[in-house]
Each structure stands twice: as structure tokens, then as C-alpha cells.
Chains A and B, each alone.
Chain A
Amino acid sequence: MKPRSILLLVIIALFTVVLAVSFSGNSSSYTTFGEAKKSGGTVHIVGSWVNRESANYDASRDIFTFSLQDTTGTVSPVSYHDPKPNDFDKAEKIVVIGKFETPDVFTADKIIMKCPSKYGDKEVK
């Protein structure tokens, strides 16, 4: 092995380690409301929108609130500091990224709508 190759390998190894550390430090996990409440950290929660009629956007305060049911069946109110996202109604699955800032309400920083067949569920009229 030449010194240059060793140096290169060291650099690559270092890069990989740092990347892995940075990733594990920053990555969150897909979890449930129960876990999120316990850990208090920022998490991803996959769920579906329930109690649709109670969802509300308060335009004067700029807060959108709705109920999300996670994969274990736990329902929690979620608040989001933006109006209702586009395609929210069509989403069959919703991913919220955020944490419990108050004990009862999950504050979402970001919402991802999963609509695998957004334009595929059209009906023949």
C-alpha cells in the first residue's frame, strides 16, 4: 500500500463514520404518539386523519388543528402553524413530523401527505 492510498482510505473511512454519526444524530424514527410523549423528541408519526368534521383552520391565529390516529390506534390532536396543506383531504396516509410541545397537543413542523394514487382513484362517470 502506498501512503497515498492509505490517506485516501483514511479520508473515506472518516467520511463514512462522520456521515453515519451525523445521520444517527439527526435521523428521527417512525413511531407512535405514546412513544413520542415518552421521549419528548422530534419524531415522524404515520397515521390517518380521523374525526374529520372537527378539523379547523383558525385564519386569524394561523393554526390548523386536526386529529390523527397512529398505527396503534391512539388518537391525538395535532396542531400545525400553517393553513391546511394542499391535498390534505385526499391523503390516505399522513406523516407528521414534530413533537409534543404541550403534554396534550402534538405540534407538527411538517406534514407529508401520502397519496399513492392521487389521480388513480378517479371514478368512471
Chain B
Amino acid sequence: MPGVVGEFFTALAMSSATVAALSFFIAERTKDTSESDAWGRVAKWSWWTHLVSVLGVIVTLFSMIYFHDYRYHYVWEHSSNELPVYYMISCFWEGQEGSFLLWLFWHSILGSILIFKAKDWRNGVMGVIASIQTILSSMILGAFILNIKIGSSPFILLKEVMVDAPIFQSRPDFVPTNGTGLNPLLQNYWMVIHPPTLFLGFASTIIPFAFVFTGLLRRQYTEWIKPSRPWLILSVMVLGVGIIMGGYWAYETLNFGGYWNWDPVENGSLVPWLTGIAALHALLIYQKSKSYLRFSMIMVAVTFILVLYSTFLTRSGILGETSVHTFTDLGLSGQLILLVFLYLIPVIIIFANRWNDIPHKNENQPLWSASFFLILGTLVFLFSSAEILFSTSLPVFNKIFGTHAAPPAKLQLFYYKWNVWFAIAIGLFSGIAQFLWWKNAGGKKLSDALFRPFLIAVIATGVTLILVTYYQRPFAYDKEMTALLEKKEILAYIEWFFIAFSDKIMFFSSFFAIAANIDVLISILKKNTGGLKFIGGTLSHIGFGLMLVGILFSSGYDYVVSKNLTPAELSLFEGDDKNDNVLLPLGVPRQMSGFFATYKGKVQAEPPLRDFQVIEKTKETFKVKFEDKKGETFAMELPLNVFTKQNGGGKPGETIHAMSNNEGADINLTYVKEFTEKNLTYIKPQLINNRTKFIITFTDIQDSTRSFTVIPESEVNQDMGSILSHPSRKIFAGKDIYVHVSSIPNPKETEVEPKYFTLNMKQGDSDSIAGYRIVLENIVNLTEQARKEGQILAAGANIRVFAEDSTYSAHPVYTIGEDHKIGMIESDIPPLGLKFAFVKIDPQTQSVTLQAEYIPTANDWIVVKAIEKPMINLLWLGTFVLTFGFGIAMYRRAKE
């Protein structure tokens, strides 16, 4: 049983981490060198045992997913046969248990590097890291100690979780043939790389923390800076990239039309990033002025503690109604609170104990100095993180104080009006501080040096505002501002004031940051030979400035293209101006600001087809997946009896053994492929996971040759008729056009007149009606059986119907009674809206007449929402520049 192996490794990981943590700390505190070394050796070997155990747990869990071992709850809940290998990786961390494992994994890798790199800091630093490994391992332990649940194991059997499921009562050894699958939203390549990146960012915050803690323990208050600074830079760099990747995933996959929603889960990762940035800048203040050392140490510690705190927020289920993200509460709240306090309390104690011992200087920084502006900037980051943290923690306050306060109704605006001013300050300070920091580089007076960037920023802001006015793009909060003015209250006027000018000033501030930092960049490169290694900071600031411009444009000036231009007689309804969605009937162009949009139909499979694979098999049917010409993956369900070796007429030797299960029959995949390709227009296989892709063309009204196509996607929940839609984008240099399907017809709701068809067929004939292929397989003489009921003749028709994703059968019967009366037993196929009657037999021609009634189930239309996102590419470009700058800075600090 792989689960036992997994549980063994989990227990070993926890115990070896405990031994490692204790012996590293004893080695750290033991004065005697040889004794300390002995403890160090014990610790090291325990650590290597721990590393092997963590890898063992990971390999075990992954192979269980890879080999579809649905005996296990985690595998059954998070994966399925349909998934390609790269999404099996996402399954791995879809659940909380897997993401704890991911965190453990990064700590083990980082720790193993530090064993070699941390040199004389090794024992203290590794002690801290090993200690958290103990706690994190306990999160996936899944043991009960004194009736208290410790952790939730990914190695629990399905039948242990679903004790009450009837199937396990009747068949205790039942194993499902397929899993319930990965959340479709997570079936995206960003979900393969975003979680590991984010968790590397989270995990690496412990390293600077461990250095600070050890420094305090040893009373070495300044020596920790040099070895830990590259790690701090790595941490904020990776965390930043992870956050942006998450935003990009949301932008590409979800359909709220943006990359940032101020959701508690997002804020939980942003706040430690902000404090990490503050810590980084606090260290620069210390470097320049030898003051603010205590502040720097606190910021490093706070960053790590906040990572633990957001872990508690997002995993304990406390966020409840405030978050759109969903969490399965594993009942680990107690353990998660413990995790926070286990580090918070010792840190507070040791800081209190060493406080006056830490070197500190009470000297005011001169106004026009780099240190002064760094202090201001750092404070702004601190305020911003405090504001976000405070607002996000509302459910925690509700819990503590028993209140029922809800978050601000206009959440976006609430966060905007605070953070836009923080961003404005950061933009200005970053430009000025850089000049002062590198004051020798340019050799000019500050006012002279800043004049050019100031002028550039003024011009750029002016041009921007003119363009925005020319294209009539409203600011996102125009409506809210009007509402505030109408209130005629003092507070409302103040609020209005803070919103009304914010965007213009922020444009200026971010242009200024970019221009000033480019100036500094140029002068560094001119002045210093080998100046390349010094440009890290400057480059990051340019990147940050670009990001600010991109964010302000794409979120403040995004524009709904699909305004509902309802016909005049209908627009009497109040609130029609709110309508941001447009109905597109198949093939009918509809106008939406500047475009004609036409819904052209759905993406269908195109031959040649390849890579046929059986993914599921039941007693009567099997499910097969394959790829078409364009590499799209489709899936369909077919009847077993037609395609098995025995019945299928395939050539001998061409049978492919299907997945082994007790139904046993061999499916002839070559025949399946031939058959599907031949009948593609009738079968219409559906994209895998019930997905549908809609082809929509946009044609520019002024220049009809300029057009583009977008293909948004939706997944239909078959039981409910509800859809989950993924947007599609057309990316231009200066903007994205972002389109998603917000509604499709619900087959249950549409009622239409029935149509009738008469078919004259012989055995084996086929015909098509209403887009379905009808095959008369055979006619069965049922007279023997019917005699008993007083019939003199009875015949049944076996009809097979090939529809979009599956086949159906119908069996109408024709009878003649002793009184020569003709009887008909109709047979219908409700999902297709088809009903068959067997109305006549012609013995001469051996043909039969069938009548079919068809009730069309759905009209073909979609409702779409299209948004223009200006300058969003600046955000992505800025992210690259910022990350690149961090990379250079990290390289430089690591070399020192």
C-alpha cells in the first residue's frame, strides 16, 4: 500500500525535523567546539534524513496520482483519468495537504543549500528552519492524539473518508474507476508554475528571519545583514513574480475582467511583499546612516510572521463570506494559530530582551538626504501594508469581538483611494531618493537634476490626459464621484477630493519615477566603469514605475466595449445603462462601440484525428479521448458492443487492450478512429471536460479590413446548465480586448414547434435529420413473443442515433393485431428531443417507414462581455524590468 509508505515518510519527516531542530539549537548554544561539532553532525544527518523523507512523501503522493490510485481520497478528489501529466502536477497542490507539502519541499531545498552556504551561521539558521519543518510536517500527519486531530493526511483511503457512502456499505472493497477531477479553473499552465513560485517566495522569507533571530541570540546585531541580504532580495523578487503570475492567471482564466480583486487571499500575499520591500529599504537606510537597525530587524521578522498569518487567514476558513475563493476547512485552525504564535512570542521576547543592547543612534537625517527619503518611502510601504492588513483582517476582528461588520461595499474604490496616494508618494520618493543616493554620479544640484524628469512627467501626463479625453474614456470611479457630490456632506466632499485628482497626480508621479530613474541609470552607466552591477535598484524602480502606469491605465481607464445597445422600445427599463453584456445570435453581426461582433459558431473537431485513448469504461459504454488536427483534445462516449473486437469488424492484431477492469472487452481503437473521422459531421465530439469554444469575430466599423477573432471558452455543468467561462484576449501593443461568454442558452428553457420527418429505410441504411445521423441497424421479428398477447405480427426496429458527443438508441415497435388493427409503440430519446414511430413495413422491397418527431432543444446564441484594457502590457513589461533589477541587485549583494 503506497499510503503506508507515505505515512511512514511523513512521520519520519516530522521526527527527523524535530531532532534536527533540537540538535542544531544545542550545537548553536554549546560553547565547547568539539561538543558543538558533534551535535552539528547529528543535526546534519537528521536534516538529510528529513530531506529524503520529504522527497519520499512527494514521490509517493505523485505516483499515486500518476497511477490513478483512486483508493485514496486525495487522488480521487483532485485528479482524474482525463488529465495530462502536467496537470497532474497541479492536482498535487490543489488540496491544502499538497500545498503544505510544496512549502515543506521548498524549505528542505533552501535548508539544504544553507547547510553549505550559511557557514558559521549554520546552526542557528538551520535550527529555525528545521523547527518550522516540524510544524509543517505535523499539518499533514493526520494523527489523533488525545482525541485531537493533528494535521490532515493526503494518504487517507476514500472509504475512510466516505464511511457513510452506501457503496462502501455494500462493497467495502469498491474502487472508483475515475476520479472527480481537478477544478477546471486550475487546468491552466499558470497553475503549474504559479503555486511553486509563490510558495518559494513564502518559504524563502524564513531565511532572513532565521539570520535575524540567530543574530539576536548571539548578540551579533549587524553581522547577519551581509549573508542574509541576497536571500531577502530573492524572497521579495520571487514573491513578487508569484503574485503577478497569480494575477495573470486570474486575468486569463477567471472572468471578473481583471488581475487584482483585493480579495483577502490576494492581499494575504501582497502584505508580506510590501513589508519585505520595507525591510529591504530599511537596510539601505542602515547602510547609509548607521541608524534604523532595530527597525530593519523588526521588518524582516514581521515579513515572516505575516506569511504565517496569511497562511492562517487563507486556510482556517475564517475568511468565510468575505472571499470569493473557496476553502475547504480541514479543521486545522488551532494548529494554524499555534504556528503564528510559536514564532511571534519568542520573537517578541528576544527583541524585548535585547532591545537596548542593539546599536541605535538617535540622529535626525537632514531633509534633502537619501536616508530621509528612504525613511519616508519605507513608512509609506508600512502604512500601505497596515491599511491592507487591517481591512483584510475584518473577519478576524469580527470573530474576536463578536461583531458582524462587513467589508466596504465598494471594495475596489476603498482600496484604491488609499493605495493610490501611497503609490503617488512612492513614485515621487523613488525618483528623488535615487538622485540623492547616487548624488556623486550626476554631479549636479538636486533641483537642476530633477528638472528634466519633472518636465518629462508634466508633458507625458498632459499627453495622456488629452488622449483619454479625445477617445472619451471615462475614469473608473466617475459615477461614484458624482454620487459623492450629490450627498452634500463635508466628509463626502473630502472623499471626492481624494479621488478626483488622484489619477492625474498618479500619472505624473509614475512618469516622474520612470524618467528620474532613467536619468540616474544613464549617469551611473556613464560615470562608473563596470556600472552594470550597480543598476539593480534603479532598474527595479523603473520597472515599478512602468507597473504603476500599467495598473492605473488598465484598471482606472478600462472600458466596456460591449455596452448593451438595446433597441429604443426596450430601453425604457430603468438601469439599462448598466448593461455591459450583448446578446449575439449565431451569424448576426451586432454593433458594439466601434466594432461589429459576430458569433460564428463553435470549434469542432477537424480530421485527421490522432492519439485515441480510452479513459473510462462502464458495462455498456466507454469514453475515449483524442486530439484533432489543431491539437485540441476531444472526448466522447460510445457503446461498447459496436467497437469491441468481437463485434467491430476490425482486422485481427489491431486491437488495443483498454484499461484493465473487470468488464474486460477489447476496444478496437483503429475502428473507433476510422468511424469517428468518417462520421465527424454527425457525431460532433465535444471538447474534453464539457468545454465549448465559441468563435467570435470583431470587425472595425471604420475599416472593415481590420478584424480579429477571439475564441472564449466555457464549461457547461450538465446537471445545472450553469457555465464556467474563460475569457479570450486579442492583444494589441497598446491594449487588450478581453472577451468572455457570460451566458448561453439553457436547453430546458427554450420551447419550439416540433418538426416531423418520414424515413424510408432498409436494414443498414442511414439518413440524417436535424443534424443527427440515423442508422437503421436491423429489424427484429418479434412475432413469436407477440403471439401470446394476441398479435399476429410484431416487428421492432433497432435505431442508432449519433449526436454531438455520444450515441443513443431507439426501439420503436410495429404490431398488427388479430383484428388487423395496426399498433405502434413509440420510442423516444429525450436528450435529443427525438421520438420515433415505426409506421409501415413493405414486404416486397423489404423496406420500412419510420416517422420521427423532432423538437429542437436550443437556439444558438451567446451573451458576451468585452472590455478594453489599455496599456496593460506596461504592467507585464514593468514586472520583467523589476524582476531583472532585483536579479542584478541580488547578484551584487551575493558577490559582496
**Given A26-B414, A87-B722, A107-B575, are A62 and B580 neighbors across the interface (CB < 8 Å)?**
yes
Query: Inside 8 A of B379's CB, which chain A residues have their CB?
Result: 11
Is B674 close to A, CB under 8 A? Answer: no
Chain B proximity mask over A84-101: 1 for CB below 8 Å, otherwise 0: 101111100101011001
**Given that A26-B414, A124-B158, A124-B176 are known contacts, is A60 also in contact with B724, CB under 8 Å in the complex?**
no
Out of B406, B579, B743, name the residue touching A84 (CB < 8 Å): B743
List of B residues within 8 angstroms of A9 by Cβ: none
Q: Work out how many contacts link A and B, with CB atoms closer than 8 A.
A: 144
**Cβ contact within 8 Å between B580 and A81:** yes
Cα separation A16 to B776 with both chains bound (whole Å): 79
Closest residue on chain A to residue B746 by CB atoms:
A57
B633: Cβ under 8 A from any A Cβ: no
Asked whether B863 lies within 8 Å of A119 as measured between CB atoms, the reply is no
Which residue among B77, B183, B405, B724 has the maximum number of chain A CB atoms within 10 Å of its CB? Answer: B405
**Which of B25-33, B296-304, B321-329 contacts its partner?**
B321-329
A68 within 8 Å of B (CB atoms) = no
A75 in contact (CB, < 8 A): no
Instruction: Determine if B162 is an interface residue (Cβ-Cβ < 8 Å).
Output: yes
Q: Is B491's CB under 8 angstroms from A83's CB? A: no
B404 touches A29 (CB 8 A): yes
Contact of B863 (CB < 8 Å), options: A59, A109, A120: A59
Task: Check B758 for interface membership: any CB of A closer than 8 A.
Answer: no
Which residue on A lies nearest to B362, using beta carbons?
A: A2
Chain B stretch 161-207: residues in CB contact (< 8 A) with chain A = 162, 165, 167-168, 174, 176, 180, 183
Give the complex CA separation of A69 and B426 in angstroms.
46
Write out the residue numbers on chain A whose beta carbons fall within 8 Å of the beta carbon of B576: 61-62
Q: Which residue of A lies closest to B567 (CB)?
A: A60
Q: A46-B321, A59-B861, A62-B581 given as contacts; is B409 within 8 A of A116 (CB)?
A: no
Report the Cα distance A95→B404, complex, angstroms: 14
Check if A122 sits within 8 Å of B405, measured CB to CB.
no
Cα of A103 to Cα of B321 in the assembled complex, Å: 26
Known: A59-B861, A62-B581. A86 touches B255 (CB 8 A): yes
Which B residues touch A44, using CB under 8 A?
321, 406-407, 409
Could you tell me the distance in whole angstroms from the C-beta of A75 to the nearest C-beta in chain B? Answer: 20
Does the CB pair A22–B418 fall under 8 Å?
A: yes
Contact with B along A3-27 (1 / 0, CB 8 A): 0100000010001000101110111
How does the 8 Å CB contact mask read for B694-725 relative to A, with 1 for contact and 0 for none? 00000000000000000000000100111111
What 1/0 flags go to B557-583 for Cβ under 8 Å of A? Answer: 000000010100010011110111111
Chain B CB within 10 Å, residue with most, of A43, A84, A93? A84
- Provide the residues of chain B in CB contact with A82, threshold 8 Å: 580-581, 742, 865
**A117-B328, A124-B167 are known contacts. Are A28 and B583 too (CB-CB below 8 A)?**
no
Partner of A62, one of B158, B579, B717: B579
Q: Indicate if the CB atoms of A124 and B410 lie closer than 8 Å.
A: no
Number of B residues whose C-beta is below 8 Å from A?
65
Distance to closest chain A CB from B693 (angstroms): 17
Cα distance A42–B329 in the bound complex, in angstroms: 30
Beyond A19-B387, A23-B391, A122-B180, whether A29 also contacts B570 by CB under 8 A is: no
Min CB distance A63 to B, Å, is 8
A114 located at the interface, meaning its Cβ lies under 8 Å from any Cβ of chain B in the complex: yes
Q: Are A124 and B162 in contact (CB under 8 A)?
A: yes
The one of B387, B394, B583 that contacts A59, using a Cβ cutoff of 8 Å? B583
Which residues A26-54 have CB closer than 8 A to chain B? Answer: 26-30, 42-44, 46
* A-contact bits for B315-341, CB 8 A (1 contact / 0 none): 001001100101111000000000000
Cβ of B484 to closest chain A Cβ, rounded Å = 11
Closest chain-A Cβ to B661's Cβ sits at a distance in Å of 14
Q: Are A86 and B321 in contact (CB under 8 A)?
A: no
Please name all residues of chain A whose beta carbon is closer than 8 Å to the beta carbon of B158 when the two chains form the complex.
124
Evaluate whether A119 and B579 lie within 8 angstroms (CB atoms) in the complex, with A28-B408, A97-B409 already known. no
Please tell me if the beta carbons of B328 and A116 are within 8 angstroms of each other in the complex.
Answer: yes
Instruction: List the A side residues contacting B865 at CB < 8 Å.
Output: 82
- Beyond A86-B722, A116-B317, is A27–B573 a contact (Cβ under 8 Å)? no
Tell me which residues across on chain B come within 8 A of A93, comparing CB atoms.
321
CB of B231 closer than 8 Å to a CB of A? no
Choose from A15, A60, A116, A125 the contact partner of B326 (Cβ within 8 Å).
A116
Chain B minimum-CB-distance residue to A94: B321
Check A125 against B329 for contact (C-beta < 8 Å).
Answer: no
Chain A residues with CB under 8 Å of B573's CB are: 61, 63
B383 beta carbon closer than 8 Å to chain A: yes
From 376 to 394 in chain B, residues with beta carbon under 8 angstroms from any chain A beta carbon are 379, 383, 386-387, 390-391, 394
* Complexed CA–CA distance, A124 and B329 (Å): 20
A26 and B575 in contact (CB under 8 A), knowing A19-B387, A86-B724? Answer: no
B364 proximal to A (CB < 8 A):
yes
Pick the contact of B321 from A63, A84, A114, A119 — CB < 8 Å? A114
Q: Which residues of A contact B495 (CB under 8 A)?
A: 25
- With known contacts A22-B418, A29-B405, A124-B176, A15–B579 Cβ distance under 8 A: no
The smallest C-beta distance from A93 to any residue of chain B, in angstroms, reads 7
Within the complex, which residue of A90, A102, A113 is in contact with B324, where a contact is CB–CB below 8 Å? A113
Chain B residues with Cβ below 8 Å from A83 are: 581, 742-743, 863
For window 138-158 of chain B, which residues contact chain A by CB distance below 8 Å? Answer: 158
Q: List B contacts of A2 (CB < 8 A).
A: 362
Residues of B29-64 at the interface with A, using a CB-CB cut-off of 8 Å, are none
Chain A residues, Cβ within 8 Å of B574: 101-102
Residues 335-367 of B, flagged 1 when their CB comes within 8 A of A and 0 if not, give 000000000000000000000000000101000
Identity of the chain B residue whose Cβ is nearest the Cβ of A97 in the assembled complex: B409
A30 to B324, CA, bound (A): 16
Residues of B with C-beta under 8 A to A115: 326
Q: How far is the CA of A115 from the CA of B724 in the complex (A)?
A: 15
A90-B720 contact given A116-B326, A124-B158, CB 8 Å threshold: yes
- The docked-state distance in angstroms from the alpha carbon of A118 to that of B717 is 13
* Chain B nearest Cβ from A20, distance in angstroms: 9
Asked if B168 contacts A124 (CB within 8 A), the reply is: yes
Query: Which of chain B's residues have a CB closer than 8 A to the CB of A120?
Result: 77, 328
Beyond A29-B405, A61-B576: 14 further Cβ-contacts under 8 Å? A2-B362, A19-B386, A23-B391, A28-B408, A43-B406, A44-B406, A61-B573, A83-B743, A86-B723, A89-B717, A98-B409, A114-B320, A116-B326, A122-B77
Closest 4 CB pairs of A and B: A83-B743, A26-B408, A62-B579, A44-B406
A-B CB contact pairs (8 Å), 8 listed: A11-B379, A22-B414, A27-B405, A43-B406, A59-B583, A60-B570, A61-B566, A82-B865
